Structures are given as C-alpha cells and as structure tokens.
Amino acid sequence: MKNVGIIGGSGYTGGELIRLVLQHPALKLSFVYSTTRSGKSLNSVHQDLLGTVSLDFTDSIESDIDILYLCLGHGNSKTFLKEHSFSDKTIIIDLGNDFRLEADQAFEGRNFVYGLPELQKEKIENSKSIANPGCFATAIQLALLPLANQNLINGPVHINATTGSTGAGVGLSTTNHFSWRNNNLSWYKPFTHQHLGEIHQSLEQLDSPSEIYLIPQRGDFTRGIFTTLYTSFEGSLEEAKKYYHTFYAFHPFTQISDQEVSLKSVINTNYCFIHLHKYQNKLLITSVIDNLVKGASGQAIQNTNLIMGWEENLGLNLKASIF
C-alpha cells in the first residue's frame, strides 16, 4: 500500500480524488490538508463520504509521503512547493495548471512531465512529477491526436465545447448560481481559453502545429464536457476510423464508437468516448469526458498507476450513471 496525501481536498476535484483513493486497492489515504477546514471531518464537506472514512482535514503535512496530489487553485502549486519540502522519492501530481507548459516544467529540482497518457505514456512511467492536463485540453487533444499523428490537420480546427458547472469550482459566482445557470447557456473566453497553450504544445510535439478556434460554453448541467470539432479531411470515414482505432489500440480509456455518443455515457467514469462523422470534405469529431474524472482526478490516478507499474485501469473500473 502506498500512502497518499492530498493538498486542497475541499473542492470538487479534491472530493472526487478522495473517493477514488479510498476505493483504490493499492492506495491508503493518510491526510487531506486544508488550512481553512483543519479539524473538521471529511464528510462535513463531502457528505457522500459519511460512513466511508473517519479522517479529518488537517493543517499538518507528512513530508515523506509516497504520493502527493496538489488540488490547489491555478497558480498556487508553485507557492505551496516553495514553502514545503518533500522527499525526492515522493511522487507529486499537480492537478492545477502550474507545470503544464514546457517553460514551467523544471521547478525546484524536479522536472514535471505533461500527464496525458495517450500522448506520452512512457515518459509518465519514468517520472515522479506529473502535470495533470486540463479538462478541456484532455477532451480536445484526444479528439485530435490521431489526425495530428498522421499529419492530417491541414486546415483550421473549429471547436465548440460545453462544460458543466463543476468545471468552475465550488466558489459561488454569478454564472455558477443556480438561478442564472438553470435553463441557460452562454459562451466564455472565446478563442482565448487558457487550455489552448497545452493543446498547441502537444500538437507541435507531433510536428502538427494547427490553427485552432475554441468556443467554450457553460452548460445547464453539473459535470462533463461535450466537445464537437470539425476540420478539413479528404480521406474516407473508414480511413479516419482506422487511424483512430490504431492510435488508441493500447489505451483502454479512449474508445471509438460507431454510434453517436452522449455525455451520460461517460459521467462518473475515466473514459473518453469519440465518434467520427464525415460530411463532404469535413470530418466532425465528437468527444465526451467527465471533467472531474478523466478531466482531472481519474487521470491523476491513471498516471499514478503508470508510474507505479500497476495495471492502468486499477481502481478505475467505474460504471457510468446513464439513467
């Protein structure tokens, strides 16, 4: 059993990670660090944990912990690691955006690896410091990587991606408020979303720099990301499917569906489902993920499994709540 510490476990991502660690057969939750909730029980915040765990939040840290997950607000992981020291043997997985770009990956004697298993599984397996990808970035990259790998992105990529309210965190804002979000739909950060940097970085890694236009939307639901994107493609639909099946043949959590996919098919799971549709000279790609699992905490556990040499799906055999 590997001892796990979680820094910042009171939010949606932290709560999901706690649940996944508790049911993982090779992980033991040692502490959940919080300066604002120290001494309060985990189930006082995450009420679904009642009867599952008796731990309290703590403001003390075990520096020799086996695995440390950072679930802090974006930009706060660097500050935390500067203020707290950990063993060189400690695996650190950051679920924020501090180390995702190459310019930021060398830090305090560590070299963070971008943790998208479908892109660079071998690098993850040989690392002890992981920058977990963003949720939009995960859904979009998984939709594009097989084309990029074949150098078949030859024109602009137009993307519409709708996320649930949990993607904005637990903090209350006008656009998170039930009265505003219910029966509503809106876009935000058109063409400028912060996840575009890591998407471009990965495509360039495959020698496939691309022109990408992303319109993110706030959806009237709590979890998941529904992404549609299209780009020019001169090949047949059968050829496209072959590229995708080949690219993901050894990646258990990304599946290609012949049928149209819906968001509920992946909620509460670590899967990404992809569907391809051809119209004239355009290829329409649909990808769906749970933003809190494959887009965050589930992918962090997936990366942990790879680093430890365990089965990639250990502790992640989760069933969708489709009905």
Residues 104 and 250 in one domain: no
| Residue at 321 is within a domain | no
Same-domain check for residues 141 and 245: yes
Tell me: do 298 and 154 sit in the same domain: no
Let me know if residue 322 belongs to a domain: no
The confidence band for 321, taking pLDDT boundaries of 50, 70 and 90, is confident
Give the tokens for residue 52.
């599952």
Residues 256, 248: Cα–Cα separation, whole Å:
8
**Any bridge partners for residue 131, and if so which?**
94, 114
Per the structure, how many domains does the chain have? 2
Instruction: Look at residue 22 and tell me if it is in a domain.
Output: yes
Which residues carry out catalysis? Answer: 135
Same domain assignment for residues 127 and 148: no
CATH label of the domain that carries residue 209: 3.30.360.10
Domain identity same for 256 and 302? no
pLDDT at 179 over 90: no
Do 278 and 301 belong to one domain? no
In this predicted structure, the answer to whether residue 35 has a pLDDT above a threshold of 90 is no
Give the separation between CA 244 and CA 205, rounded to whole angstroms: 18
- Same domain for 259 and 187: yes
pLDDT of residue 300: 98
Q: Are residues 236 and 153 in the same domain?
A: yes
Q: Which domain holds residue 275?
A: 135-291
Residue 107 and residue 254 in one domain: no
CB contact burial 307-317 (16+ within 10 A = b; e otherwise): bbebebebbbe
Does the pLDDT value for residue 313 go beyond 90?
yes
Nearest to 37 by CA among 11, 63, 3: 11
The reply to whether 323 falls in a domain is no
- Which letter, b or e, does each residue of 235-248 get, where b requires 16 or more Cβ atoms within 10 Å of its Cβ? eeeeebbebbeebb
**Count of H-run helices and E-run strands, the chain:** 8, 15
In a shared domain, residues 165 and 107: no
**CATH code of residue 51:** 3.40.50.720
Q: Looking at the domain assignment, is residue 217 inside a domain?
A: yes
39 within domain boundaries: yes
Whether residues 84 and 208 share a domain: the answer is no
User: pLDDT category, 318, cuts 50, 70, 90?
Assistant: very high
Tell me, yes or no, whether 74 lies in a domain.
Answer: yes
In a domain, 314, yes or no: no
HSE, CB side, 13 Å, CA atoms: give it for residue 255: 15
143 plus 274 within the same structural domain: yes
Please state, rounded to an integer, the average pLDDT across all residues of the chain.
Answer: 95
Residue 287 has pLDDT above 80, yes or no: yes
Distance of CA 44 to CAs 51, 55, 236, Å?
12, 11, 54
